[in-house]
Amino acid sequence: MKNILITGGAGFIGSHVVRQFVNNYPEYHIFNLDALTYAGNLENLKDIENKENYTFIKGDITNELFINDIFSKYKFESVIHLAAESHVDRSISDPLAFAKTNILGTMILLNAFKNEVDYTKNNSLFYHISTDEVYGTLGETGLFTETTPYDPNSPYSASKASSDHFVRAYGETYNIPYVITNCSNNYGEFQFPEKLIPLCINNIINNKPLPIYGDGKYTRDWLYVVDHAKAIDLVFHKGKNGDTYNIGGFNEYQNIDLVKELCKQMDQKLGREENTSEQLITFVKDRPGHDLRYAIDATKINKNLGWKPSVTFEEGLSKTIDWYLNNTEWLENITKGTYQKYYDQQYSK
Ligand code: NAD
Ligand code: DAU
């Protein structure tokens, strides 16, 4: 059996990646390392938690002794690294937390990999999951390609850019086999309701205002999370050592149009009169340093590895809404307690 370490596997994307690997590769033993911050939730993995090829380890990637210890103990062959602080708004209020986890945490993992993994003999890989936000912002036109220069604007994207550089540097300096993927905005089941789509789903259910930053004309490229997990599987097995791949949904939406589509679908599903939820839209103070537009050119992963998204945005959004409506207990459990405090601080400005 190959021991594979997935970090951040109790989070949104990580839980889908863990599920994808545990279910499809019985020949791998998947170790899910997660600190269970506010964003980590073992409820996301109920369906696979008792599988024989799965082990959960609670721990912090910034704890060097602990990380060295588990690398030495479990002899991981490869790492898929997703653990991070991931929300831009939180990076604006607490940038140091982002530097610590996203930069230092990644370096500690890289060092452990360098010192403990026999990567010259094995078919090993350090797979770093990154974001399109490292490229900064686009104007009205153009797309991010793998050669677009890094130009991050938020503490979050700067910390992710920095971690990407360290991964590449360890590859160049120590010949660590690595791959990096830079993905656009994910949506889907198990996303924490601080991000635009689940936040609005939760607020529509509860008839609360839908906060739209600025004029709502900011544009993102949305990808269904299961399609991201499938792309990660493909890159892990077929990606070229030292390469980077952009992953995107070929699916740009202005925030205001996306929220209107969400309102339309939710009114239908909740049996509410047409245009009921749209009345909840409220324009609020803009995010500082707000990137105008992200859009990914995913031609490379499509041409080289044959990946493309499997669902349209309308289908993916419909599946996502259905999941949240059928899992209100999951939503209620994570929106009580500290969530309300975060929400009040973020939206009362
Ligand atoms: P998330 O916030 O839902 O989950 C992050 C997970 O990491 C949580 O389970 C949390 O407990 C864990 N974690 C945080 N700090 C940790 C630490 N110090 N030690 C161990 N575990 C820790 O994030 P997500 O949206 O699932 O994003 C996962 C990865 O994908 C991140 O690296 C993010 O930058 C990247 N990414 C996200 C998106 C997106 O749209 N969400 C898009 C592209 C790339
Ligand atoms: O592009 C990939 C990135 O996508 C990931 O790397 C990040 O981890 C992930 O959080 C996401 O970043 P965004 O900042 O684009 O996602 P968010 O859901 O926070 O915001 C999406 C858009 O909606 C953005 O333009 C800000 C806006 N927004 C967001 C919130 C939370 C609002 O208008 N109102 C809100 O309340």
> DSSP characters for 252-301?
EEEHHHHHHHHHHHHHHHHTPPTTTGGGGEEEEPPPTT---B--B--HHH
What are the angstrom distances between the C-alpha of 141 and each of 59, 219, 283, 292, 296? 42, 11, 25, 11, 11
What are the angstrom distances between the C-alpha of 138 and each of 191, 290, 323? 25, 11, 32
pLDDT for residue 348? 87
Cβ neighbours around 271 below 10 Å, total: 7
CB of 137 sitting under 6 A from ligand 2: no
User: Using CA atoms, how far apart are residues 251 and 312, in angstroms rounded to an integer?
Assistant: 8
Kindly report the pTM of this predicted structure. 0.99
307 neighbors 249 (Cβ within 8 angstroms): no
Q: Where are the strands (E) in the chain, listed by range?
A: 2-7, 28-34, 54-58, 78-81, 125-131, 178-183, 185-187, 210-213, 219-224, 243-247, 252-254, 281-284
- The Å distance, Cα 283 to ligand 1 centre, comes to 28
Look at the block and give the residue holding tokens 């207990």. 329
**Domain boundaries defined on the chain:** 2-187+222-247
Query: Which residue among 41, 86, 127 is best mutated to probe the pocket of ligand 1, counting the most ligand atoms within 8 A of its Cβ?
Result: 86
User: Using CA atoms, how far apart are residues 41 and 61, in angstroms rounded to an integer?
Assistant: 17
pLDDT for residue 122? 80
pLDDT for residue 249? 95
pLDDT for residue 1? 87
CB of 105 sitting under 6 A from ligand 1: yes
Nearest partner of 264 among 279, 249, 250, judged by Cα? 279
Domain 2-187+222-247 CATH class label:
alpha beta
Strands 78-81 vs 125-131: parallel, antiparallel or unpaired: parallel
CB of 293 sitting under 6 A from ligand 2: no
- H/E run at residue 309: none
What are the angstrom distances between the C-alpha of 97 and each of 80, 90, 174, 178, 300? 21, 9, 28, 25, 33
- The Å distance, Cα 82 to ligand 1 centre, comes to 5
What residues contact 327, with CB distance under 8 A and at least 6 apart? 189
Structure confidence by residue, pLDDT tens digits, 302-329: 999 999 999 999 999 999 999 999 999 9
User: Using CA atoms, how far apart are residues 209 and 137, in angstroms rounded to an integer?
Assistant: 28
| % helix, strand, coil for the chain, step of 5 | 45, 20, 35
Low-confidence spans in the chain with pLDDT less than 50: none
Q: Is 94 a catalytic residue?
A: no
Q: Is 344 exposed, middle or buried (0-12, 13-18, 19+ CB in 10 A)?
A: exposed
Q: Which of 156, 187, 224, 324 is catalytic?
A: 156
pLDDT for residue 191? 98
pLDDT for residue 121? 84
